[in-house]
């Protein structure tokens, strides 16, 4: 908290959730000088680096959990051996919209792949959120098909497409 205050930030509220052995802490922060949301990319990067550096300094056991950055900390993994299952849920959010929840291994281009799958089968993307927690990407998308919530068969098609394309192994270009 002190490190965030030194950056000229004010912590408005915090939310802590515990799910088994995982504790998640979420803070809403604003600028001290004007009380506004932080949108400056340089300040956002300074916040990110401050949090990572403090985690490494005060909680070195967390260094192996910090994902995919230059600051892995004390024990950087030699090779990432990630076997993260892909989970897909599709829920109706009323008569005109469905909610698609996807949890899978994060990788470059993942969001582009998800949007391409949706557009390839003519599912209209209305809004969404995309977040990463370590090596796991979690996304929520509001979609519809021809102005209606997804039918049971469209849910199955979409789920099958995501399972196939998001779980397929990557192939090196020089391997064939």
pTM: 0.51
- pLDDT tens for each residue of the chain, 176 residues long: 788 888 888 888 888 888 777 777 777 888 888 888 888 888 888 887 888 778 777 776 666 666 544 334 444 444 444 456 788 999 999 899 999 999 988 888 888 888 888 888 899 988 888 888 878 889 999 999 999 999 999 999 998 888 888 875 554 445 44
Residue 30's domain comprises 2-62
| The pair of three-digit structure tokens given for residue 87, joined into one six-digit string | 């989970």
Residues 16-44 as b/e (b if ≥16 CB within 10 A, e otherwise) read eeeeeeeeeeeeebebeeeeeeeeeeeee
Domain presence at residue 50: yes
- Residue at which a domain ends, from 47, 62, 77: 62
Provide the number of structural domains found in the chain. 2
Report the run of H or E that residue 90 belongs to, with start and end.
strand 87-92
CA separation (Å) from 22 to 16, 19, 74, 171?
Answer: 10, 5, 21, 33
Query: Residue 154 and residue 149: Cα distance in Å, rounded?
Result: 9
109 lies in the same domain as 146: yes
103/154 same-domain check: yes
Helix axis angle, 110-120 relative to 152-167, nearest 10°?
140
The answer to whether position 53 is within a domain reads yes
Domain assignment of residue 52, yes or no: yes
């Amino acid at each position: 908290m002190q490190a965030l205050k030194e950056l000229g930030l004010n912590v408005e509220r915090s939310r802590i959730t515990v799910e088994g052995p995982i504790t998640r802490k979420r803070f809403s922060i604003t600028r001290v000088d004007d009380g506004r949301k932080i949108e400056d990319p340089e300040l956002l990067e300074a916040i990110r680096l401050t949090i990572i550096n403090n985690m490494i300094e005060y909680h070195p056991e967390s260094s192996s959990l910090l994902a995919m950055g230059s600051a892995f900390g004390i024990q950087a993994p030699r090779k990432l051996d990630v076997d993260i299952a892909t989970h897909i849920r599709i829920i109706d959010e009323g008569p005109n919209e469905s909610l698609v929840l996807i949890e899978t291994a994060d990788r470059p281009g993942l969001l582009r792949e998800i949007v391409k799958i949706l557009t390839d089968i003519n599912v209209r993307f209305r809004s969404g959120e995309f977040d990463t927690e370590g090596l796991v990407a979690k996304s929520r998308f509001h979609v519809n098909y021809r102005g209606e919530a997804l039918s049971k068969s469209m849910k199955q098609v979409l789920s099958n497409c995501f399972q196939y394309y998001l779980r397929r192994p990557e192939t090196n270009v020089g391997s064939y």
